[in-house]
Amino acid sequence: MGNAQSSRAGPRPRARSAQDDAVIEALTQQIRSIRRVDLLDEQEHSYVHVSHEKGIPSTHSTDPRLSLSTTTNWEKHLLSDPKNRLALNALLSNDVRTIVSNKVSTLADTQTFNIKIPFEGSPVTNQRSSGRCWLFATTNVLRVPIMKKYNLKEFELSQSYLFFWDKLEKANYFLEQIIDTADEDLESRLIQELLSAPVNDGGQWDMAANLVSKYGLVPQKLYPDSYNAMNSGSMSSIITTKLREDGLILRNMVAKCKAASDKTRPNKEAELVSVKAKMMQEIHGILTLMLGPPPKPDETFTWEYYDANDKYHSVTKTPLEFAKDMSSPSLVRTLGANVSELFSLVNDPRNNYNQLLTVDRLGNVVGGRGVTYVNVDMATMKKAAIAMLKAGLPVFFGSDVGKFSNSSSGVMDPNLYDYGLAFNINLGLSKSQRLRAGESAMTHAMVLTAVQVEGGKSVRWRVMNSWGDSAGEKGYFVMTDEWMDEFVYQVVVDPSYVTKEIKDVLDQKPKVLPLWDPMGALA
Indicate the length of the chain as a whole number: 523
Per the domain annotation, does 86 fall within a domain?
Answer: yes
Percent of the chain with pLDDT over 70: 86
CB neighbours of 70 closer than 8 A, spacing ≥ 6?
59, 61
Residues 175 and 63 in one domain: no
**Which candidate, 490, 467, 487, places its Cα nearest to that of 7?**
467
The answer to whether 147 and 155 have CB atoms below 8 angstroms apart is yes
Structural domain including 64 reads 17-98
DSSP letters, 264-318, are THHHHHHHHHHHHHHHHHHHHHHHHHHH-PPPPTTS-EEEEEE-TT--EEEEEE-
**Which candidate, 116, 144, 133, places its Cα nearest to that of 468?**
133
pLDDT reading at 10 higher than 50: no
Gap between the Cα atoms of 440 and 344, Å rounded: 19
Instruction: Provide the domain count of the chain.
Output: 3
Residues 76 and 139 in one domain: no
Per the domain annotation, does 321 fall within a domain?
Answer: no
Per the domain annotation, does 2 fall within a domain?
Answer: no
Predicted TM-score (pTM) of the model is: 0.89
Give pLDDT, residue 62. Answer: 79
Q: Mapping DSSP to helix (H, G, I), strand (E, B) and coil, where does residue 2 land? A: coil
**Which candidate, 345, 357, 333, 334, places its Cα nearest to that of 495?**
345
Give pLDDT, residue 338. Answer: 76
Residues 277 and 370 in one domain: no
Q: Mapping DSSP to helix (H, G, I), strand (E, B) and coil, where does residue 119 land? A: coil
Q: Give the H/E segment covering residue 359.
A: strand 355-359
- pLDDT tens, position by position, 477-488: 999 999 999 999
pLDDT category of residue 12 using cuts at 50, 70 and 90: very low
Gap between the Cα atoms of 57 and 341, Å rounded: 66
Last residue of a domain, one of 274, 291, 308: 291
Per the domain annotation, does 303 fall within a domain?
Answer: no
Gap between the Cα atoms of 6 and 467, Å rounded: 10
Residues 261 and 377 in one domain: no
Catalytic positions are 133, 444, 465
pLDDT reading at 49 higher than 50: no
Per the domain annotation, does 110 fall within a domain?
Answer: no
Gap between the Cα atoms of 322 and 319, Å rounded: 5
**Which candidate, 206, 312, 180, 193, places its Cα nearest to that of 244?**
193
Q: Residue 289, exposed/middle/buried by CB under 10 A (0-12, 13-18, 19+)?
A: exposed
When the pLDDT of each residue in the chain is averaged and rounded to a whole number, the result is 91
Least confident residue range of 39-43, 52-56, 313-317, 429-433: 52-56
The answer to whether 218 and 161 have CB atoms below 8 angstroms apart is yes
Residues 404 and 464 in one domain: yes
Per the domain annotation, does 461 fall within a domain?
Answer: yes
Give pLDDT, residue 9. Answer: 38
**Which candidate, 31, 10, 140, places its Cα nearest to that of 91?**
31
- pLDDT tens, position by position, 134-183: 999 999 999 999 999 999 999 999 999 999 999 999 999 999 999 999 99
Percent of the chain with pLDDT over 90: 80
CATH at 367: 3.90.70.10
Per the domain annotation, does 233 fall within a domain?
Answer: yes
Q: In the chain, how long is the greatest CA-to-CA distance?
A: 86
